Structure 1
Amino acid sequence: MNRFLYWLLLLPASSLWAQSSPKNPPTLTVETIMQDPKSWVGTSPTNPFWSDDSRTLYFNWNPSQAKGDSLYKVTIHRDTRKKTVTASEPIKVSPSERRALPTPPVSTYNRAYTQRLFDRQGDLFLLDVKSGSVRQLTNTVENEIDPTFSSDEQKVVFRRSGSNLFSIDLKTGELTQLTDFRTGAKKAEPKLTDEEKFLKQNQLQLSSVLKERKEKKDEADRISKADRPKRAKEIYLDDKTVVNPQLSPDGRFVTYRLTKPATGVKNTQVPNYVTESGYTEEIPARTKVGAPAASQEFFVYDLAKDTVRAVSVKDIPGIMDKPAYLQSAGKAKADTAKKMRPVVISGPVWSDDGKMCVVVVRSLDNKDRWIMRFVPETLKLSLLDRQHEDTWIGGPGIGSLNSPGNMNFLADNQTLWFQSEADGYSHIYTVNVLTGERRQLTAGKFEVQQVQLSKDKTHFFLQTNEVHPGEQHFYRMPVSGSRPERTRLTNMTGANEVVLSPDETLMAVRYSSSNQPWELYLMDVNQPTPKRAASQPAQMAGVSAPLKLTNSPTEAFNAYPWQEPALVTIPARDGQQIYARLYKAKTPTGKAVVFVHGAGYLQNAHKWWSQYSREYMFHNLLTDRGYTVLDIDYRASAGYGRDWRTGIYRHMGGKDLEDHVDAAKWLVETQGVDAKRIGIYGGSYGGFITLMAMFTTPDVFKAGAALRPVTDWAAYNHPYTANILNEPQNDSLSYRRSSPIYFAEGLKNYLLICHGMVDVNVHFQDTVRLMQRLIELKKDNWEVAAYPMEDHGFVEPTSWMDEYKRILKLFDERL
């Protein structure tokens, strides 16, 4: 039985294709495109990783449409005489082989890259790269994680049970505890009252026998204490938690952060109505924006001196600066006293020789990032680089409150490379820790999205979108020289996600185009390829062309002529250019739908397979029915630099909504769309924009479907919202003008709201509160579809089908 016939027999009758031919393509239905993707789209390969000898490539895949993905592998063959690289057919890895595999390679090699440490299921292992032999170092009930080599590579340093640091001597097997963090408070010695002190002293003066016995006991205690082996200092945490303890390369210092939860913080609860118990159960969820933050302190434990000291941040330049939005006339505080802004210290990052140390300090309001040299012995902090934004710090490689971002030392052990948006786009910079000399290595109106330093530290491997904002390519660039020339290593149009082999000679490339899902390819690093079609037969591939390793789509998926949307630019009212995907109707009817991607900071107008794959297929369905579809990368979308990313600061539903209104106008002026027949829809942030569009620009969009929408930003989480709108108690105007619930009276046209009832991200309460508002406003042109068992991202095909049938019905009836 062929695969296509087998597939047809498995499908429900409602989703069968009509008889099709090249002139009569199959008809799309909601039931078809919203079913389990693996049963008809196919499952793309994910999570590729290499064996340590660079001879085998592993990846997760599911070509057999099993319940879950399995681990597959291909074996790489090199012919040095013919200068070719070939690969075997993918085969499934047996369970026994899978369980014996080391974890994927990470940066826990020794300096010669001959040995690698890894942890697996709570135990530690040492791998010999050349022979492939594995030595198990621990076998305990407790979890051992994050192994690293000591500076002399004679010991392995690791964390046990989350907090305490230990080391194992690789020759003797001796286990040493380096820290002794203890929960709770240390029991204090009982204090004597003045009366008790007098009686004790008096007794010793009156009795020579008592005094002699005490002296003998004190001497015995002293000797016993001196004879005891040296142990790690007991460090009591009280009600705090240890974060990221690290041993310095010379083994003398342990740096760590203590975090203390704020008191009186109220967490939200999400009711779950459909449960196994038959009772309504509560799902613990997040806090809301503006809730008190945990306090953070950074400490140094000096093992040589047996001392623990806190690092002071009071002298950091600008730490007393008041954010710009609070300095405006309407926000000026009555008191002018300067207050130190709370910060988080992440790192440290050490040079290979252990002589240089750098930490990253980040303000909790996310408006400053300081890169600082740190000397543990003196606790001195010295500024190397400060990035300040009146909006908020962000962008590729910049890190977060809990991560220093992409950075490390070059081979000279005193030059630090890092990423910064200082010139408006995320680029690579260096700074000399001793001299402070700072250089910019990449520049231009594009983003460096990923960076990896070569093992010999002579080159960077990086991913950028410099060819086009909607393409991602892989490059090699020398670390020396100003504006060093980059060598482009990929050429297939779309996105190229690269995983380098450990020997840095081969690339596993996860590639997709706008109308074809992700597949896995093999390429040679040292032979940049000429541009060629991704459909070129694999047998023609060698070192000069990508070798295709997988073929994932089903015959049924390939039977439909999926549209390659046109990537267009649309002028915005402020002169900026908006990138967009345009799906043209097969037979235009004047109807149009604008799709709004979610997440805010996300890119969807690009040349690779969308993470909104169901929506992509739905847009093809709409074009079959005469709709023109537009999907724009509005203000705050990813991929376009700092100013575009922060264009919504203090006003969500401002420039981002204006971009959609300008796009609707462009549809009318250039695509023959009827201005009275435009709909809008989207989920999460896209649902929010849909509500703002329907409430504040009601004459632009005739119908809208808001999926899992934020209706009041004061009810959303802190990390995301506080960056953009600050805190509601300090910047209530930003929340007032950014929250749809305040503008509900503007609804004129037809609105559908769909929301999962166990959504722990955007809570169903958002929709319930808006429902009550619409009821009180006596609006009757709206409806809500609730999904009792769905979280923020739907899982069940029946839920997807129901939701998109309602969306299609809304547009068909109202447009």
Structure 2
Amino acid sequence: MKRSLLAFAGATALIGASASTPVAASTPRLADILGYSFVGELTAAEHVDRIAWVETVRGVRNVWAAAGPDFRPHQVTRYTQDDGQEITHLRFSQDGGTIVYVLGGSHDANWPAEGNLAPDPANSPVQPKVGIWTAPFDGGEPRLLSEGDQPAVSAKGVVAFVKDDQIWSMPLDGSARPERLLFDRGKDRTPLWSPDGSRLAFLSGRGDHDFVTVFTDKTHPLVYLAPSTGRDDDPVWSPDGQRIAFSRQPGRGGAPEPLFQFHPRPFSIWTADATTGEGRRVWASPVTLDGSYPQNGDGLGLRWMADDRLTMITTLDGWEHLYALPTAGGAPRLLTPGRFMVEHVSASRDLKTLYYAANTGPAKGDDDRRHVFSVGIAASAPRELTSGTGLQWSPVAAGRGVALVAADAQHPPAVALADGKALQPVHVAVPDYPARSLVIPKPVSFAAPGGFTIQGQLFEPAGGGAKHPALIFVHGGPPRQMLLGWHYMDYYSNAYAVNQYLASRGFVVLSINYRLGVGYGRAFEQPDHWGPTGGSEYQDVLAGARWLQAQAGVDPARIGIWGGSYGGYLTGMALSRNSDVFKAGVDFHGVHDWSLDIGEEAGHPVERYEKGDWQQLMKTAFEASPDAQIANWRSPVLLIQGDDDRNVRFDQTVDLARRLTQAGVPFEEMVIPNEIHGFLRYDSWLRADRATALFLEEKLRP
């Protein structure tokens, strides 16, 4: 991710990344391919030309930063261990002189561990704690402020944060001990200071309803904004600090809805006086699927912009797009028309322009890439800031241009600057990365039952020759999209690297963007009979295998499959339903019995007198699970999971292992004690990915 040997061409991709780039004759080691640098958490200071980001190389995470006008990079922290403690929530102080961050935790989990324990993937005998840390922008020894999470830095130099579901605070300079800032009966989260730092907004969680709440000081009562039975979220301050805008969804409850179909999830936008709490509804979404509260990417992404305009992401036209809404009321105005999705939105300092990433552009395959655009909130058309066969995402304002993360098919993510003319690299963390040994995946598509056209990326071994064994890769999520290059999520950058390694070992790999995934419109994301209601997306996986079998360079008798999470579920579906097609598979932390998993999703209907179609769903959910077809499962499988998984319960793999044993199905297993769902250590990924490659080679390339 950085300057030196890596230069950028035009406003597109990294130099040396064209399809004509020769591939090295030698096969790279897996450890070298996994030795890429990943960039996350790119953020900009609000009032000065400074940016910061987190860089991870072989499991070692560090904060890096750069200042305008030249934005020369420097390392802020000096961590040296692959300790599995993630760095998140980068924040700048008002003057840009201090960087605040969170060390530790699991911020992509579906639920906390019992007792709110922080992950301990390095097996430390000393219990890890999630902590708020500060470091000087220019470098220096980091300092622990307090245990806690979700820091917010005020204009007055106070850090508010969440600890034990309550709001705490302490001075940024550490001159006083942390203390609980206020008492609130709810479970509090998401602290947000007013622009002048005099008041704090936060969310008070009450279970089936939530309040947006304002704290002034200990002599003033808390102010709950327009309290209702609804679930309020997404608070944003007006630039003058007098009002707050927020979203409202209905509270949990009501009669059971039919569980076999998607239902509208309407929401509304409100504004309220931060002093009195009096509020008014600005706009209400239509009660339609397209009008539902957005579930993917940035979520609603509500912002209070200049000229008293709010902006948000909704799917009113069937795609995740940006809309502008006057706070006085009226209809939202579409800012980003087209058949693409918007992600990674940020605002200019003057609050008149939005920067965003979208899967659109003139190049073939751009719906499986990301490029960066800007759009003014007044009546103006979007402007393309990057294009070509590379990928760019996470734009933030930086001086006279935009800082972003750039990658392509061969070169891993790196921070760069876009000034409207060219992309300039800021830093290349691994200048000797074996980029030239990576292949350029090809965009492909094929038909699947139900009228769906499925897109994917085809990795072909160099050199051609005899027919090759082939693999299907299925991503997790499922609201994800694999791309024609390195990914903006670390989990899927790992998957991309493994697919490249498998191609270097002689496998043809087809990565499938099956129905349920993002990037192709709301209707594609919400198909009938999905997952526990029928598993219809498995048809896309099987169709992909049939397509592979028809390719000239593929041995149709040697097809395998691998994937993680939802991809693990689809791997299990493939092996249990079509061992005649899929001769081996690797299942990372997959769901194997939906009926064990859906109680919470369906609102615990077993606890209610009204059951709706709960029993019918439980039957269908089991039938749409790999466990239901164990009798037909013959192909060998490798099961991999960390036993501190907080997204898919470990009992899913324990249960499947018992069933496979009883059925006499050959399987191997790798259990990584104390690892979570998205492994936190490079060593964990290396061990698991090496086992994956060896297993597939043994079964498909004896």
Output the TM-score relative to the length of structure 1. Answer: 0.62
Aligned mates of 2:176, 2:564 — CA distance in 1: 56
1:359 equivalent in structure 2: 246
Q: Whole-Å Cα distance in 1 between the matches of residues 494 and 586 of structure 2?
A: 16
Task: Tell me if 1:384 matches 2:270.
Answer: no
Q: Is the 8 A contact 1:757 1:787 kept in 2?
A: yes
Q: Do the aligned partners of 1:51 and 1:104 also contact (CA within 8 Å) in 2?
A: no
Q: Is the 8 A contact 2:223 2:277 kept in 1?
A: no
User: Residue by residue, what CA displacement relative to the aligned partner does 1:67-103 show, whole Å, maximum 9, x if unpaired?
Assistant: 835555667666xxxxxxxx76x5655869xxxxxx9
Conserved 8 A contact 2:76-2:135: no
Deviations 1:257-290 (A, max 9, x none): 5445xxxxxxxxxxxxxxxxxxxxxxxxxxxxxx
* 2:349 counterpart letter in structure 1: K
Which position in structure 1 is the counterpart of 2:26? Answer: 26
* 8 Å CA contact 1:499, 1:509 repeated in 2: yes
Q: Paired residue for 2:479, among 577, 590, 601?
A: 601
Q: Distance in 2 between matches of 1:741 and 1:658?
A: 18
The question of whether the paired residues in 2 share the 8 Å contact of 1:243 and 1:258 is answered with yes
Q: Which runs of 5+ in 2 are unaligned?
A: 1-21, 80-87, 103-130, 253-263, 605-611
1:480 Cα deviation from its structure 2 partner: 1.1
Conserved? CA contact 2:233–2:246, under 8 Å: yes
CA distance in 1, matches of 2:467, 2:144: 68
Q: Which has the higher contact order (CA 8 A, sep 6+)?
A: 2
Is the CA contact 1:396–1:447 (under 8 Å) kept in the aligned structure 2? no
Q: CA deviation at 1:426?
A: 0.9
Q: 2: distance between equivalents of 1:683 and 1:143?
A: 30
Please list every run of 5 or more consecutive structure 1 residues that lacks an aligned counterpart in the other structure: 1-21, 79-86, 97-102, 133-137, 150-154, 182-234, 261-293, 315-342, 400-404, 530-543
Give me the TM-score of the superposition, normalised by structure 2: 0.71
Q: Paired residue for 1:370? A: 268
State the secondary structure of the residue aligned to 1:346.
strand
Q: Secondary structure at the match of 1:491?
A: coil
Q: Which has the larger radius of gyration?
A: 1
Deviations 1:311-362 (A, max 9, x none): 5535xxxxxxxxxxxxxxxxxxxxxxxxxxxx42124333223454322123
Partner of 1:739: 625
Q: Conserved in 1, the CA contact under 8 Å of 2:50 and 2:398?
A: no
- Spell out the pairing of 1:495-514 with structure 2 (5 A cutoff): 495-503=391-399, 505-514=400-409
Aligned to 1:766: 652
Note the C-alpha offset of 1:420: 0.4
Instruction: Give the match for residue 296 of structure 1.
Output: 209
**RMSD (Å), alpha carbons:** 4.8
Deviation of 1:781 (Å) = 3.6
Q: Is 2:559 the partner of 1:678?
A: yes
SS at match of 1:353: coil
Alignment pair present for 1:782 and 2:680:
no
Deviation at 1:417, TM superposition (A): 1.4
**1:676-715 residue pairs with structure 2 within 5 A?**
676-715=557-596
User: Which deviates more from structure 2 when the two are superposed, residues 619-628 or residues 640-649?
Assistant: 619-628
* Alignment map for 1:233-382 (pairs within 5 Å): 237=185, 240-244=186-190, 257-259=203-205, 294-298=207-211, 311-313=226-228, 343-354=230-241, 356-363=243-250, 367-374=265-272, 377=276, 379-382=278-281
Residue identity over aligned pairs, in percent, reads: 22
- CA–CA distance in structure 1, aligned partners of residues 48 and 500 of structure 2: 41
Q: How does 1:369-768 map to 2 (within 5 A)?
A: 369-374=267-272, 377=276, 379-382=278-281, 384-386=283-285, 388=287, 393-396=293-296, 399=299, 405-413=300-308, 415-467=309-361, 468-481=366-379, 484-503=380-399, 505-524=400-419, 528-529=420-421, 544=422, 546-547=424-425, 549-550=427-428, 552-554=430-432, 557-558=434-435, 561-585=437-461, 586-589=464-467, 591-608=469-486, 611-612=491-492, 615-616=495-496, 618-620=498-500, 622-623=502-503, 627-647=507-527, 650-652=530-532, 654-671=535-552, 673-716=554-597, 731-747=617-633, 749-756=634-641, 758-760=643-645, 761-768=647-654
- Aligned-partner SS, 2:412: strand
CA contact (8 A) 1:682 1:707 kept: yes
Deviation at 1:783, TM superposition (A): 1.6
Instruction: Give the aligned length.
Output: 602
Deviation, 1:750, is 1.1
Q: Please give the secondary structure, in 2, of the residue aligned with 1:608.
A: coil
In structure 1, distance between residues paired with 2:639 and 2:169: 51
Q: What letter matches 1:344 in structure 2?
A: R
Letter in 1 for 2:266: D
Q: Cα distance 1:767–1:364, how it changes in 2: closer, same or farther (>3 A)? A: farther
Deviation, 1:117, is 8.9
Distance 2:439 2:278 in 1: 60
- Alpha-carbon deviation of 1:624? 5.5
Report the CA distance between 1:702 and its aligned residue. 3.3
Q: Distance in 2 between matches of 1:630 and 1:502?
A: 38
> How much has 1:445 moved relative to structure 2?
0.8
**Distance (whole Å) between structure 1 residues aligned to residue 698 and residue 133 of structure 2:** 57
Q: Which amino acid aligns with 1:384?
A: W
Deviation of 1:658 after TM superposition, in Å, equals 0.8
**Amino acid across the alignment from 1:519:** A
Does the Cα contact within 8 Å between 2:192 and 2:201 map onto a contact in 1?
A: yes
Structure 1 contact 470–494 (Cα < 8 Å) conserved = no
